[in-house]
C-alpha cells in the first residue's frame, strides 16, 4: 500500500529525479578525466536520441513539424545544447555542488528573461527574489573569482542563463501543443550533431571507448535517462509548484556526493550562498506561476 502511494506521488518521483541528476553529475565529473566536454555531451545526447527514435518510429509518430514550430524547436535545442556544454565544463573544473548550483540559477534568469520578453515589470517580491538570488551568486563565485577557477564559474553561470532561454522555448512549445517526446527528439538531435562536430574540430585525438571507461558513459546515460523519466512522471503526478520546489534537492545530493567522493570542503559563505540561491529560486518559481495568469504582451 505504501509503495503504491509512493509510485503515484509527484514529490517521490522528483526526489528520484534529483538523486539521478546528482548521480549523472558524478559520472560527468569522473568522465572529465578521460573525455572532453564535447564527447561527454555527445554520448549523453546520443543515448537520448536513440531512445526517442526507438519509441517514436515503431509507433509511427510524426517527427516533421511546420517551419514556425521548427524555429521554436531550434531555439530551444541550440540554447539547451550550449547550456549543457557549459554545465558539463563547469562540473569538470569546479566542485560538483558549485557547478550544479550555478546551473540552477535558471529560475532567477527566467524571471529576468520573461520580463524582457513580455515587457511586463515584475512584482516587488519578484525583484527582491532576483536581487537576493544574485547576492547568493556573488557569494558562491567569490572563491572561484579569487582563484584560478573564475572562467569555469562564469561559464557555469552562463549555463543557467541559457537554460532559462531553453525553458522559455519549452513553455512556448507546450503552449502550442507540442508533445514532450518531440521536444526531446529535436533537442537530442541538435545536441548530438553539435557535440559531434565540436568533437571533430577539437585538437587532439578522440578518447577511445574501452572497458576502463565504458562504465562511465553507461552510468551517465542510464542516470540521465532515469532522471528525465522520473522528472516527467513527477510533473504528471504532482502539483507543479510542489514538485518544482523540490528540484533543488539536486544541489543537496551533489553536495553530499562532492564531500563523500572528492572531499570537497567549501567555505561557510558558499553553503550560505547555495541556500540563498535555492530559496530565491523556489520563491521565483512560485511567484512566476502566480503571475502567469496576468495578461502578457510578447515583444
Would the pLDDT of 295 be above 50?
no
| Interior/surface letters 71-96, b for 16+ CB within 10 angstroms, e for the rest | ebbebbbbbbbbbbbbbbbbbbbbbb
The percentage of the chain sitting over the pLDDT mark of 90, rounded to a whole number, equals 41
Would the pLDDT of 297 be above 50?
no
Per-residue confidence band for 138, with pLDDT thresholds at 50, 70 and 90:
confident
Closest-CA residue to 97 (of 227, 287, 254, 237): 254
> 181, exposed or middle or buried, with CB in 10 Å at 0-12, 13-18, 19+?
middle
**What pLDDT score was predicted for residue 296?**
47
CA–CA dist 29, 174 (Å, integer): 32
Give me the count of residues in the chain: 299
Per-residue confidence band for 95, with pLDDT thresholds at 50, 70 and 90:
very high
Q: Which residues contact 261 (CB under 8 A, 6 or more apart)?
A: 26
Considering only 164-173, 197-206, 238-247, which range has the smallest mean pLDDT?
A: 238-247
Q: What are phi and psi of 124, to 5 degrees?
A: -60, -40
Q: Which residues contact 209 (CB under 8 A, 6 or more apart)?
A: 217
**What pLDDT score was predicted for residue 139?**
86
CA–CA dist 142, 138 (Å, integer): 6
Cell of 124: 516587488
Q: Which residues contact 42 (CB under 8 A, 6 or more apart)?
A: 192, 195, 196, 198, 199
Q: Which position has the grid cell 553553503?
A: 271
CA–CA dist 45, 271 (Å, integer): 31
Task: Work out the average pLDDT over 269-274.
Answer: 90
Higher pLDDT, 20 or 239: 20
Per-residue confidence band for 124, with pLDDT thresholds at 50, 70 and 90:
confident
**What pLDDT score was predicted for residue 1?**
44
Task: Work out the average pLDDT over 262-279.
Answer: 89
Domain ranges of the chain: 12-290
Q: What is the mean pLDDT of the chain?
A: 85
> 121, exposed or middle or buried, with CB in 10 Å at 0-12, 13-18, 19+?
exposed
Other C-beta atoms closer than 10 Å to the C-beta of 136 total 24
CA–CA dist 68, 170 (Å, integer): 14
CA–CA dist 176, 130 (Å, integer): 29
Cell of 55: 519509441
Element of type H or E holding 123? none
Q: Which residues contact 30 (CB under 8 A, 6 or more apart)?
A: 216
Per-residue confidence band for 3, with pLDDT thresholds at 50, 70 and 90:
low
Q: Which position has the grid cell 523540490?
A: 246
Q: Write the pLDDT tens digit of every residue in 35-89.
A: 999 999 999 999 888 888 888 888 888 888 999 999 999 999 999 999 999 999 9
Stated pTM of the model? 0.89
Would the pLDDT of 239 be above 70?
no
Q: State whether residue 40 is helix, strand or coil.
A: helix
* Start-to-end Cα distance in the chain: 51
Torsion (CA) 148, 151, 157, 160 in degrees, nearest 10: -130
Amino acid at each position: 500500500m505504501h509503495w503504491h502511494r509512493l509510485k503515484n506521488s509527484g514529490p517521490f518521483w522528483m526526489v528520484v529525479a534529483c538523486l539521478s541528476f546528482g548521480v549523472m553529475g558524478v559520472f560527468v565529473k569522473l568522465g572529465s578525466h578521460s573525455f572532453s566536454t564535447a564527447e561527454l555531451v555527445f554520448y549523453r545526447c546520443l543515448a537520448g536520441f536513440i531512445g526517442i527514435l526507438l519509441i517514436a518510429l515503431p509507433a509511427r509518430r510524426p517527427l516533421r513539424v511546420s517551419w514556425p514550430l521548427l524555429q521554436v524547436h531550434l531555439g530551444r535545442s541550440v540554447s539547451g545544447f550550449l547550456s549543457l556544454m557549459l554545465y558539463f565544463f563547469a562540473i569538470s573544473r569546479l566542485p560538483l555542488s558549485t557547478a550544479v548550483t550555478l546551473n540552477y540559477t535558471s529560475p532567477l534568469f527566467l524571471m529576468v528573461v520573461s520580463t524582457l520578453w513580455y515587457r511586463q515589470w515584475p512584482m516587488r517580491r519578484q525583484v527582491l527574489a532576483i536581487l537576493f538570488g544574485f547576492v547568493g551568486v556573488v557569494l558562491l563565485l567569490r572563491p572561484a573569482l579569487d582563484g584560478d577557477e573564475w572562467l569555469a564559474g562564469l561559464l557555469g553561470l552562463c549555463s543557467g542563463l541559457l537554460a532559462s532561454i531553453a525553458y522559455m522555448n519549452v513553455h512556448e512549445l507546450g503552449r502550442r501543443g507540442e508533445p514532450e517526446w518531440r521536444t526531446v527528439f529535436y533537442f537530442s538531435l541538435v545536441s548530438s550533431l553539435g557535440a559531434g562536430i565540436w568533437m571533430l574540430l577539437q585538437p587532439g585525438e578522440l578518447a577511445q571507448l574501452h572497458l576502463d571507461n565504458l562504465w562511465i558513459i553507461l552510468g551517465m546515460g542510464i542516470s540521465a535517462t532515469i532522471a528525465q523519466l522520473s522528472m516527467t512522471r513527477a510533473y504528471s503526478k504532482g502539483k507543479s509548484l510542489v514538485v518544482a520546489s523540490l528540484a533543488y534537492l539536486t544541489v543537496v545530493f551533489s553536495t553530499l556526493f562532492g564531500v563523500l567522493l572528492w572531499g570537497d570542503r567549501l567555505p561557510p559563505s558558499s553553503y550560505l550562498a547555495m541556500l540563498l540561491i535555492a530559496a530565491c529560486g523556489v520563491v521565483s518559481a512560485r511567484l512566476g506561476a502566480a503571475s502567469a495568469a496576468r495578461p502578457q504582451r510578447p515583444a
